[in-house]
Structure 1
Amino acid sequence: MISVKNFSEEKLKLQIIKRDGREEKFNINKLVKSLINSGVNYGDLENILSEIYTKVYNGMSTEELKNIVYDILKRTDPKIAENYKNKVILKVRTSEKEFEPFDKEKIVKALVKEAGADKKIAQKIADEVELELKKLNVKYLTAPMIREIVNAKLLEYGFEELRHKHTRLGMPIYDITKLLKMGSRENANLMYNPESIHKWVADETMKQYALLAIFPKHIADAHIKGDIHLHDLEYAATRPVCLQHDLRPFFMHGLKVDGTGLHTCVSKPAKHPEVAIQHAAKVMMAAQTNMSGGQSIDEFNVWLAPYVRGLSYERIKQLMQMFIYEMNQMYVSRGGQCVFSSINLELEIPEFLRDKPAVIAGTTRGTYGDYEEEAKLILEALVDVMMEGDAMGKPFIFPNFIIKLRDNAFSNENEELMVKIHELSAKFGIPYFINMLPDWQVVNTNSMGCRTRLSGNWTGDAEIDTLRTGNMQWYSLNLPRIAYEASGDDDRLFEILHERLELVKEALLIKHEVTLERLYVDKMLSFLTQEFDDGQYYRYENTTKTFGFVGLNEMLKFHLGEELHDSKEAVKFGEKVIGYMRDYADRLKEETGLRWTVTQTPAESLAGRMAKLDYKYFRDQAKTVVRGDLNDVNTLYYTNSSHVRVDAPITLGEKVRIEEKFHPLCNGGHIMHVWNMEAAADPEVLMDITKKITRTNIGYWTYTKNLSVCNKCGLSVGGLRDKCVNCGSENVAKFSRITGYLQNVANWNKAKQKELIDRKMLRI
């Protein structure tokens, strides 16, 4: 409060003559406000007011008073005097075309409402901010500018938590300009286009929100430092990850792509095969708006089999071609990309579905066991379509093409089809294989995206456990850093491992609660929560909460001095580490009633991020094990999950014997990559390898063939080439598999490009 002790009662009763001749009582509060608006500090007010007191008199004009004040201010601070003379009023730009007077009460209200500040504290901060703003030489203020100054004042007074809650999210202009000019290589599936720019900008804001508002500081800090990694941060506040679809509810009841029918048209159950195909594609497209990860249809050829009865093979092939082009040309998903799609396929109708009613056109016709021939024709047609490639001869990237190998996979009746599948592997390296022969695979197992996995061992009901559910989220541990911190001490290593698992558990439980809120309180995910006769489509209660990991090989190299391919002792210690993670997850199932699993992390960018951070914070340790060029930190990377490093000098058989140890442990997802198969891509050789792998504990694998496709003449050849061998053009697109999908390697980040260079041909 400003003192007026120097103003006598008589002075306070003075009358001032306005320009129009009217008299007005002298108002000291109005004068004080005018002085403050001009930029006068509170500490200087008493002296200025005292001098004014000696000069004012009854009956003076408004102009005389202003001149007196101006002269006094001019001696104090000429800039403030000019502000006073020109009646400077702070203006705030609220939009592109609107200005409004600055109102510090809005600061008070914002601090109370947004940050939960005490009103007295909020008022103090607002007063101080107003003074700071008066000193600025700017034409106008903006809301972000004011917020920055408020946050600076909060920090100045030690109110860090208030600043945390009051902070503004977004990106610097420079970073957005850089995106506009160059795009980003953080996600190889995102192309450089207007939609991806918007997604990258939105993602950055939502990532900041997650680290500030979703996760507590100790978890956010652990992520930022690289102890753990919170995948899909941009979606932490809004959606779960992967989903394994069942087409029967839509074939029985019709399709609402928004989940309600209020915002889009509603389709009746598909009567014709063309419509059934379109609905299958649209189910994955619609679900992608509610989820961050891969969309998969399990038993794809089984569900569609009733729709193709009586059709010629050429007609079935045309239908499958329509589906494949739909999945590769629906260029609308999340920032201008195709839907991350997978289809799980059967060579025969699996036992758990043989006696189930076959759904078609809103009714049922027999059982699925009656349609085995049609299911095989669909699979064969899909193989033929994928073999042809697109109009340019390029391989189809979507959907992931996953074949389940059960007991009769290599029987005489399936031999011709199996040869075709391996011809596709030999040409493009497209198919993935699920080995259903080991006992731990149970009745049904499927895969979503590149490896996340469901198996019928949760409730014991294969349909409940593997259909209409998926992975809620996986978060990953940085295993090499644990070894650095343990400094060779086994006990300390497992203590730190446990601490990091506890952190990830806490983060996953937070994501679980957030997802429940989005599903059932905010009701944001309406496609997932739509109701059918047997209840909600999405069986959220059966989703997996998953622990991922990166760099087991480098952990072992630092801790033991040996890598996975070096000794049996290294493999056994690796099993002990991942076994500890699996035991921890299994105990959580009993404690929480939730479905906890362990996965080999799909580490498209994470293997590089963690290596780069470790080289920064643990340079002396990391430089002895990290992969890549130490002169370029952007090329550094760790070996993904529990894989053997990509250039290990071993045979394929040795690789299988090592990596099979970890597939049963990683019940949330696993994969074995057989890289660089172009020089050995003989279908008969590949089929022989497949037979041998099915007799091991490898649960999921693929043969990756690098490809070069000429953008001029369309020739597709094996290997990564700089020039077309047919027309000599250097306009050549190079394709390889990253963590799950074939992609143009030009879109990869530098760490993954370096890993690609390092990949060695395995001796068969």
Structure 2
Amino acid sequence: MASGSKYADLEISVVKRSGNEESFNVNKFVKSLITSGVDYENVDTILSEIQGKFYNGMSTEDLKSVVYSILKEYDKKTGKSYSKKYMSENCLKIRTSEKEFESFNKEKIVKALIQEAGADLKTAERIALEVESEVKTLNLSYLTAPMIREIVNTKLIEHGLEEFRHKHTRLGIPVYDIIKLIEKGSKDNANLMHNPESIHKWVADETMKQFALLNVFPKYIADAHMRGDIHLHDLEYAAVRTVCCQHDLRQFFMHGLKVDGTGRHTSVSKPAKHPDVALQHAAKVLSAAQCEMSGGQSIDEFNVWIAPYIKGLPYDEVKQLMQLFIYEMNQIYAARGGQVVFSSINLELEVPEYLKGKPAVKAGQIVGAYEEYDYEVKLIAKALVDVLMQGDAYGKPFLFPNIIFKLRENAFKDENKDLMIKIHELSAKWGLPYFINMFADYQFKNTNAMGCRTRLSGDWGNSVEESSLRTGNMQWYTVNLPRIAYEADGDDGKLFELLEEKLSLIKHGLELKHEITKKRLYHDKTHPFLTQKFDDEQYYGYDNTTKTFGFVGLNELLKYHVGSEIHDTKDSLDFGEKVISFIRNYADSLKKETGLRWTVTQTPAESTAGRFAKLDYKYYREETKSVVNGELSDLNSIYYTNSSHVRVNAPVTLGEKVSIEEKFHSLCNGGHIGHFWNAEAYANPEVLMEITQKMAKTNIGFFTYTKNLSICEKCSLAMGGLKDNCNGCGSNSIERFSRITGYLQNVSNWNKAKQKELTDRKSNLIKF
């Protein structure tokens, strides 16, 4: 062969797949070119071009890739012929998800399409054959498994097999987004710091969110969320977790503690005998449950359950024990993504009526009845307040647990006056406690809450305890009220028709979550702590959990639809009541129809109020511009008013704000809150207590006084208000704190929309 002899001095070695080397055989090579369709007279030209790219010790795969790249430029048909004959599936390597290399094998595609996507054999083989043909034309030394999957998915789309593609798709997060999370973090949740654990959580969350939108919810619900018609909260946990729980410590004090729920993976404790152990067990209960739930954890009747353990102890020792508990809850830095447990404790001023006569539990035994421990209940409350007043070693307030006091019949009587003054001293200093107003005419025997405002009332189940203990919110999803107003365009009938349509979407989403959760609890058994049994009864009362409709932006709906804000006119307020009553009636009818516990809540909306506003500005720009809060020059700062609240900078007095917002608390039986901003103007605890007494005569069911705080990082001075410089040393290294939606947190962790809301907030603690 003439051409062969011309290049016979081409002395290079080629490394075969086996790792062995052999000399390059030019005659064999020329034959492969001719077999692929190269005209004999063009062989010398092609050989001349290829020769300059050969090097000693190159692999056969690299050699073939070089040849293919030149041949396909020479003639596509010839290049494809060469690829089919010589770049076989045995030459192309796939880097698998197990971080290994293996040869391309179309049968794996067939198997995956059948098992993962539910394709029939004929369809799977056809797609695999087309993918094999495509892959062989690629000028690559190897492919990755995700690349192969994308090629398969492209073929599925080309053939109109969208359902198969949907099931076969691969979830993940772009490299660029991971880099951003590593370098800058995320501000969707102000309780998360930027650290290695939170970075891993954010990356995992993104994958699970994608999974939920593809596999948990049908397309029409997922699309409604992505458009901003509704908001599916906790998407990252939609497939695996419920939200929150109000815990009852009696089971653990009687039977002991298994933090894994089984005792097979962790050490098991006998019932706590001593108060310090009992408090540590309480902290571990909250921490263990946090591993299985997406939201906050709370202990209802905390000081009632602990009371038997501190009987006979001097006050100083009780205070030291409460300090132990508070530090535990602020230093167990092991909750989701590297944070402390989002926790609350509900406290009584005395043993409530529904617990009188109930056996008191301590160290696995019955030690009388709880009404015998009234003194200890008060002592624990006093000690907790004293510990919280002091703050931590740097003088900062303790951020968790949220402290919630229940105001019952005797709250303002002389026997509780000293304790109530002390509680309001805590309000005046830190703005920490919350209050549940049990005087409101819709309250029933026991009501509890969490700082995020989720609420359980004692009027659901067969007993008050079944209704309010060992259960919580399964999930809430939120409707975008301003968008409904934009789409209704002034038509009342259309507005309520659209509202019912969006509520139906949420209902279906909650029903799916309900069934998925039952599967996780009872079939997959992924919640061993919650489903552990005491005396043959499951700890977690899943059948009593709330399925909840949330809402955002009632004020902006009214501003657009009625022409005035919620605080402006009686007509506007009346129409607002009509809207929320419609949602409540919808939930109540579902309760009768399904036997499930459907409720309505004022959505906390840490990020949702901003998300809805941004999406509405995208799709309904002119309409949104006329009602939205924030700066349109910075779309990250725009937001809607939370739930049915008065706009944060509305020109109203406290009394006016209360008279408006109380109308919605009885309607929102799944959660509500009254936020009264900037209590630093009222440092007198007796003045605050007078306001609380007046509040108890209203239908405001749950409320708090928010005090903005600044802590100097240099000298640790605590100051009221949001300061730029320290009043003591002049330093500008200042940590600033305020309540974001339901908890006190460092302002620097807030997203831009909430930061803008913070600067807009107006004090209204006057003229009640």
Structure 2 length as normaliser, TM-score? 0.90
CA distance in 1, matches of 2:153, 2:447: 52
CA distance in 1, matches of 2:316, 2:722: 34
Report the equivalent of 1:536: 538
Report the equivalent of 1:755: 757
Within 5 Å, which residues of 2 pair with 1:672-687? 672-687=674-689
- The answer to whether the 8 Å contact 2:258/2:269 transfers is yes
Deviation at 1:137, TM superposition (A): 2.1
Report the equivalent of 1:294: 296
Q: 2:587 aligns with which of 585, 588, 591?
A: 585
CA distance in 2, matches of 1:437, 1:81: 86
Report the equivalent of 1:471: 473
**1:456 equivalenced with 2:454 (yes/no):** no
- The answer to whether the 8 Å contact 1:602/1:739 transfers is yes
For the residue of structure 1 that corresponds to 2:308, the secondary structure is: helix
- The answer to whether the 8 Å contact 1:401/1:432 transfers is yes
- Report the count of equivalent residues: 708
- The answer to whether the 8 Å contact 2:315/2:379 transfers is yes
- Return closer, same or farther for 1:482/1:310 CA change in 2, 3 Å cut-off: same
Within 5 Å, which residues of 2 pair with 1:54-203? 76-77=75-76, 89-94=91-96, 98-203=100-205
- The answer to whether the 8 Å contact 2:676/2:765 transfers is no
In structure 1, give the amino acid aligned to 2:167: K
Deviation at 1:147, TM superposition (A): 0.6
- The answer to whether the 8 Å contact 1:196/1:335 transfers is yes
- The answer to whether the 8 Å contact 1:39/1:80 transfers is no
Deviation at 1:288, TM superposition (A): 0.4
* RMSD of equivalent CA atoms: 2.3
Identity of aligned residues (%): 69
Report the equivalent of 2:417: 415
- The answer to whether the 8 Å contact 1:39/1:135 transfers is no
Deviation at 1:79, TM superposition (A): 5.0
- The answer to whether the 8 Å contact 2:331/2:340 transfers is yes
For the residue of structure 2 that corresponds to 1:604, the secondary structure is: coil
In structure 2, give the amino acid aligned to 1:656: V
Deviation at 1:238, TM superposition (A): 0.2
- The answer to whether the 8 Å contact 2:87/2:136 transfers is no
Within 5 Å, which residues of 2 pair with 1:81-480? 89-94=91-96, 98-459=100-461, 461-480=463-482
In structure 1, give the amino acid aligned to 2:320: Q
- The answer to whether the 8 Å contact 1:295/1:449 transfers is no
In structure 1, give the amino acid aligned to 2:253: F
Deviation at 1:678, TM superposition (A): 1.0
- Return closer, same or farther for 1:746/1:281 CA change in 2, 3 Å cut-off: same
- The answer to whether the 8 Å contact 2:397/2:430 transfers is yes
Q: Kindly report structure 1 stretches of 4+ aligned residues shifted beyond 3 Å.
A: 69-88
Deviation at 1:449, TM superposition (A): 3.5
In structure 2, give the amino acid aligned to 1:565: H
For the residue of structure 2 that corresponds to 1:661, the secondary structure is: helix
Deviation at 1:535, TM superposition (A): 0.5
CA distance in 1, matches of 2:467, 2:87: 74
In structure 2, give the amino acid aligned to 1:505: K
- Return closer, same or farther for 1:446/1:85 CA change in 2, 3 Å cut-off: closer
CA distance in 2, matches of 1:294, 1:757: 27
In structure 1, give the amino acid aligned to 2:525: K
- Return closer, same or farther for 1:555/1:74 CA change in 2, 3 Å cut-off: closer
- The answer to whether the 8 Å contact 1:73/1:81 transfers is no
In structure 2, give the amino acid aligned to 1:150: V
Report the equivalent of 1:18: none
Q: 1:570 aligns with which of 572, 583, 586?
A: 572
CA distance in 2, matches of 1:386, 1:127: 69
- The answer to whether the 8 Å contact 1:704/1:736 transfers is yes
In structure 2, give the amino acid aligned to 1:163: R
CA distance in 2, matches of 1:763, 1:312: 38
Deviations 1:604-626 (A, max 9, x none): 00000000000000111111001
In structure 2, give the amino acid aligned to 1:453: R
- The answer to whether the 8 Å contact 1:39/1:131 transfers is no
For the residue of structure 2 that corresponds to 1:660, the secondary structure is: helix
**Which 10-residue stretch deviates more, 241-250 or 105-114?**
105-114
CA distance in 2, matches of 1:98, 1:693: 67
Deviations 1:557-611 (A, max 9, x none): 0000110110111111101000011111111111000000000001000000000
Structure 1 length as normaliser, TM-score? 0.90
CA distance in 1, matches of 2:80, 2:154: 24
CA distance in 2, matches of 1:96, 1:361: 50
CA distance in 1, matches of 2:292, 2:379: 33
Deviation at 1:85, TM superposition (A): 6.3
Deviation at 1:632, TM superposition (A): 1.1
Deviations 1:424-483 (A, max 9, x none): 000000000000012311100000242000001112511110000100000000000000
For the residue of structure 1 that corresponds to 2:598, the secondary structure is: strand
Q: 1:664 aligns with which of 663, 666, 672?
A: 666
Deviations 1:653-705 (A, max 9, x none): 00000000000000000000001111223211110000000000000000000
For the residue of structure 1 that corresponds to 2:698, the secondary structure is: coil
CA distance in 1, matches of 2:722, 2:596: 45
- The answer to whether the 8 Å contact 2:676/2:764 transfers is yes
CA distance in 1, matches of 2:754, 2:253: 41
Report the equivalent of 1:654: 656
CA distance in 2, matches of 1:94, 1:677: 59
Deviation at 1:97, TM superposition (A): 5.6
Deviations 1:327-364 (A, max 9, x none): 00011100000101000000010011111010000001
Report the equivalent of 2:60: none
- Return closer, same or farther for 1:279/1:550 CA change in 2, 3 Å cut-off: same
Within 5 Å, which residues of 2 pair with 1:26-45? none
**Which 10-residue stretch deviates more, 511-520 or 444-453?**
444-453
Within 5 Å, which residues of 2 pair with 1:587-736? 587-736=589-738
For the residue of structure 2 that corresponds to 1:358, the secondary structure is: strand
For the residue of structure 2 that corresponds to 1:714, the secondary structure is: coil
Deviations 1:33-62 (A, max 9, x none): xx9xx999xxx99x899xxxxxxxxxxxxx
In structure 1, give the amino acid aligned to 2:374: E
- The answer to whether the 8 Å contact 2:476/2:510 transfers is yes
- The answer to whether the 8 Å contact 2:33/2:82 transfers is no
CA distance in 2, matches of 1:616, 1:39: 57
CA distance in 2, matches of 1:269, 1:447: 27
In structure 1, give the amino acid aligned to 2:715: C
CA distance in 1, matches of 2:458, 2:305: 19
- The answer to whether the 8 Å contact 1:383/1:424 transfers is yes
Deviation at 1:139, TM superposition (A): 2.4
> Which 5+ residue runs of structure 1 have no aligned equivalent?
1-34, 50-65
- The answer to whether the 8 Å contact 1:432/1:700 transfers is yes
- The answer to whether the 8 Å contact 1:288/1:295 transfers is yes
- Return closer, same or farther for 1:73/1:294 CA change in 2, 3 Å cut-off: closer
In structure 1, give the amino acid aligned to 2:422: K
- Return closer, same or farther for 1:72/1:693 CA change in 2, 3 Å cut-off: closer
CA distance in 1, matches of 2:248, 2:110: 53
For the residue of structure 1 that corresponds to 2:663, the secondary structure is: coil
CA distance in 2, matches of 1:547, 1:72: 64
Deviations 1:192-248 (A, max 9, x none): 000000000000000000000010000000000000110000000001001000000
Deviations 1:136-168 (A, max 9, x none): 222211100111111111111211111111110
Report the equivalent of 2:550: 548
> Which 5+ residue runs of structure 2 have no aligned equivalent?
1-28, 40-63
- The answer to whether the 8 Å contact 2:344/2:401 transfers is yes
